[in-house]
């Protein structure tokens, strides 16, 4: 297996950048994110970046088509599709975020309708994962069966060891990436495979989907929702939340239609044209969020809508996080 020395990392990133736009984890004043590499200092501390990679495939705001009203009627012109030739390489994704991209793929590529814009971006992208030797205090990916030392959905996997990284291509796309970086890779030294990291947060999702399927009217929801502020930060930071709204921007006789991220935690999200709202209070909205993540997605796609990244634990202002909900659901029926 190829070996990347610590001091060769800049040359390795330069080799990746020569093959497309390179996104790397960096630290900004307000938090960590993925940014285009410009010799910036990498953020390779434990845990994922605060902002996930989903915006690279499902932009926060995206134009769908333009329209113009003329005497003969409306003229519609579709927005330019994402340039498939504009290749991008996303470096440093943690295994939880690689798993999150796989969940998004299920929704936008395997859900019965293919989102062409999403597909174009995914096909033009290569994922370079960074295995976790250390877990952040808010990490709990093992609750969903993830291995912090593996990322099967990535094109390339880097395993950090003393003095460097073991580098493994996992797809044909990954082999192509590494072929252009052979000059900076060395032969694998004799090193032992590391033990999985220790987790401070121990929680399990075992049996939760089946249990939640029978808990729609359970009194648990009567208390759980009360401290929720409805701010939606959990959905915007979540790497697998994909809800969006479609709006129009008019400028006289012309304008454009666009989609933008939305949140099921907002009261307007399910508000219908006639004024009816099937989720009129925070109770219904909180319940739907957790049922969707832990019950509905497993039923439909066979995957959880949570990957244990810990972002909602870190930023929810009232600590209404999914790990706490998992524990409460597990307790139902056993600790009354």
Residue extents of the structural domains in the chain: 3-331
Using 50, 70 and 90 to split pLDDT, how confident is the model at 217?
Answer: very high
Lowest-confidence segment of 35-39, 78-82, 103-107, 150-154 by average pLDDT:
78-82
Q: What is the pLDDT of residue 262?
A: 96
Q: What does the block give as tokens for 115?
A: 């989102």
Mean pLDDT of 213-239: 95
- In the predicted structure, residue 31 carries a pLDDT above the cut 90: no
* Helix-then-strand count for the chain, H and E: 11, 11
Decide: helix, strand or coil at residue 31: strand
Mean pLDDT of 157-167: 94
| Residue reference for tokens 């440093």 | 92
pTM over 0.75: yes
- In the predicted structure, residue 335 carries a pLDDT above the cut 50: no
Other C-beta atoms lying within 10 Å of the C-beta of residue 7: 10
Identify whether the C-beta of residue 109 lies closer than 8 Å to the C-beta of residue 115: yes
As a whole-number percent, the residues of the chain with pLDDT over 70 amount to 97
Q: What is the pLDDT of residue 111?
A: 82
Q: What is the pLDDT of residue 315?
A: 94
- In the predicted structure, residue 336 carries a pLDDT above the cut 50: no
Q: What is the pLDDT of residue 40?
A: 66
Q: Over the stretch 231-260, which tens digit does the pLDDT of each residue have?
A: 999 999 999 999 999 999 988 889 999 999
Identify whether the C-beta of residue 145 lies closer than 8 Å to the C-beta of residue 311: no
Q: What is the pLDDT of residue 49?
A: 95
- In the predicted structure, residue 194 carries a pLDDT above the cut 90: no
Q: What is the pLDDT of residue 227?
A: 93
Q: What does the block give as tokens for 208?
A: 């939760």
Identify whether the C-beta of residue 259 lies closer than 8 Å to the C-beta of residue 64: yes
Give the residue, 81 or 169, on which the prediction is more confident.
Answer: 169
Q: Over the stretch 82-141, which tens digit does the pLDDT of each residue have?
A: 654 478 999 999 999 999 999 999 999 998 899 999 999 999 999 999 999 999 999 999
Mean pLDDT of 36-48: 84
Q: What is the mean pLDDT of the chain?
A: 92
Mean pLDDT of 37-44: 80
- In the predicted structure, residue 78 carries a pLDDT above the cut 70: yes
- Nearest-5° Cα angle at 61, 55 to 66: 135
Lowest-confidence segment of 133-137, 154-158, 275-279, 332-336 by average pLDDT:
332-336
- In the predicted structure, residue 206 carries a pLDDT above the cut 80: yes
Backbone angles phi, psi at 97, to 5 degrees: -75, -30
Lowest-confidence segment of 60-69, 165-174, 188-197, 207-216 by average pLDDT:
188-197
- Strand 3-5 to 61-70 pairing: unpaired
């Amino acid at each position: 297996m190829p070996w990347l020395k610590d001091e060769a990392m800049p040359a390795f990133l330069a080799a990746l950048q020569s093959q497309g736009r390179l996104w790397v984890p960096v630290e900004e004043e307000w938090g960590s994110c993925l940014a285009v590499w410009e010799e910036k200092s990498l953020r390779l501390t434990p845990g994922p970046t605060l902002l996930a990679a989903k915006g690279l495939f499902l932009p926060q705001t995206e134009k769908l088509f333009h329209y113009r009203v003329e005497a003969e009627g409306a003229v519609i012109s579709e927005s330019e599709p994402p340039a498939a030739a504009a290749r991008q390489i996303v470096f440093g994704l943690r295994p939880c975020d690689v798993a999150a991209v796989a969940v998004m793929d299920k929704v936008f590529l395997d859900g019965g309708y293919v989102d062409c814009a999403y597909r174009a971006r995914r096909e033009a992208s290569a994922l370079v994962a960074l295995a976790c030797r250390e877990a952040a205090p808010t990490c709990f990916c093992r609750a969903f069966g993830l291995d912090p030392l593996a990322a099967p959905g990535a094109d390339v996997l880097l395993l950090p060891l003393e003095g460097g990284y073991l580098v493994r291509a996992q797809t044909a796309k990954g082999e192509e990436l590494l072929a252009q970086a052979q000059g900076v890779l060395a032969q694998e030294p004799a090193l032992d495979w590391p033990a999985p990291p220790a987790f401070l947060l121990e929680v399990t999702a075992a049996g939760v989907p089946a249990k939640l399927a029978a808990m729609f009217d359970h009194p648990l929801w009567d208390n759980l929702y009360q401290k929720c502020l409805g701010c939606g930060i959990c959905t915007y930071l979540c790497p697998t939340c994909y809800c969006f709204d479609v709006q129009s921007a008019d400028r006289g006789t012309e304008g454009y239609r666009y989609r933008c991220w939305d949140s099921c935690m907002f009261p307007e999200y399910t508000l219908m044209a006639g004024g009816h709202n099937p989720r009129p209070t925070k109770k219904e909205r909180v319940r739907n969020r957790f049922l969707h993540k832990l019950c509905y997605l497993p039923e439909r796609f066979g995957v959880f809508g949570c990957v244990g990244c810990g972002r909602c634990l870190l930023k929810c202002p009232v600590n209404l996080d999914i790990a706490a909900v998992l524990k409460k659901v597990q307790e139902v029926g056993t600790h009354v």
